[in-house]
Structure 1
Amino acid sequence: MFGQLGYLILESFRGWKQQRTVILPSLITIFLCSLLLAASLAAFGGVMRVLAAEKTLYTIEAFLPGELPQDSIKVIQDRLLHSKHVGAVEFVSADSALADFRRHFDGEMLELVEGNPIPPFFRVKLDDESRKPSELVKLKNELMRSGTFEEVQAPVEWVEKISAWKFKLIFWPICLSILLLVTLSLIICNSVKLSLLNRKLLVENMKFAGGSYLFIEFPFVLEGLMQGFVGSGMAVSLLVVLVNSLSEAVPMFGVYLGGFGLMFAMVVVLVTALSAYFSFRTVRGFLLAKRNEQD
């Protein structure tokens, strides 16, 4: 049994050497398709992270003209909480705002200014049902007209852009991934068919000698498996290097493109499994067709 297994494995590697003119173009194409597939899935994962963080953008910061008594702050906060479309209201004092600014930005920016230039403000968040650009603009305008606040800010432009591109950002990566999977399947099938045609006489002799379907199919399936593993492995390795370099150069992108190791591993497993499956399916179809011709 182990002798037969060793022979089949050697036959697979021998096939790689003998059919290199067929396998090499297929391997390069699998590499390119796997690279695009992994990049498409990484982009899709990044988009999903952006969309998950989108809800934090539906926040309005309403700045007070100066320090107010605690009673007045409580009254304004209660009024905001009972406003339509408001889900939560948080009061940020001037000291808290200054401490938060120092955590995120260089403190040297404040050295030329005396005292605390950041006024207290309310952070108003929309409820889940009202997370729409139109509702954000409407609430922002209402707060500005109230006369209570000196300045009202909201990331309206970003919210509108994400809302306008949301469907495209999800739809196209999914379509591209499906198209690449179909392309990979066709490439693998054609590669195995060409290999079969070049070794048609050997396959027929093995069949006439009493070789089982498994015995005949094993070398071709192993060849396909190796093509998928090598091609996708090289593609994922290259993409990991590119993503890490991009993350180091632009840390902001690293937040959305990092941590996809499991996804890239799944791409290798998926492409390898597809290669093995379609190799098996192609050879089995060839053997069944030959049996029907004999019958």
Structure 2
Amino acid sequence: MSDGVSAPENFEHGEHEAIDAGFVWLECQDEKYRTYYETAGDGDVPLVLLHTASADSRQYRHLLNDADLLEEFTLYAFDMPWHGQTFPPMTDEWWTEDYRLTTDFYAQFVMTFVDAFDLDQPGVVGCSMGGAIVLELARSYAEDLRAVVGLESTAHAPTRDIGYLDHPHVNQEVVRPEWTYGLQAPDSPEQFKRESWWTYSQGGNGVYVGDLYFYTQDWDIRDELGDIDTDECSVYLLTGDYDFSASPDDTREVAEQIDGAEFSVMENMGHFPMVENPALFREYIDPVLEKVKND
């Protein structure tokens, strides 16, 4: 089995990675978005990968390069609007309004991507804010999905907003990566923790705050968790034991409210498992993806 790590020593000079990339125009809630995506593999099961707040599809490069996974799955990772290489809406004067992500738009955009690629019963993996929205996908779009996998999932997280990231005296490009660096496990390889740190140093102005609006204010599925039918869409939840922003107890509470949901704690892991320790992450995600494949 591959170790799941896309490190420099694994590639020769001039060698191309397994990842293909492109742009697709998606229309959601009457706005058009030039959407960047990456895809890899030719397996029978489509798997959509959702990045964290203020980040982008780079977080999944290790999974997208994992030869073992690519035999069983076809993987898709994309940048949400305002993130990475996906622009804000291509309309007049989009810059005159603050970016604010909502539950309704988030879920609709993910399913718009699924529809655009004509994916048949995909699984969806999401981390952090992506780990939250997969719960809404399981509730509202169960008939279109085979399973969701939530990493660092919560039903409601009002304490995630630290309150000053949009203050004019705060350098977001310094505070944001330092804050998120501290959400990673101490024993995760420094090389990969710094990879996460670098990604978080590059978010657009106000995007993290706009994502936190979803995560801390708009998002609250506590009263609807019981509506999720795992006979129709399986739910798997994994949370790192060093994650203090979306703790194992937070995710355990989610799992206890969903009949048939499966939950595991990832030991020696923090908030960004697919980035901070990709080899260890494979040990936890492999048994889950085996179940997703057979759902």
TM-score (norm 1): 0.18
* Structure with the bigger percentage of strand: 2
Larger radius of gyration: 1
Structure scoring higher RCO (CA < 8 A, sep ≥ 6) equals: 1
TM-score (norm 2): 0.18
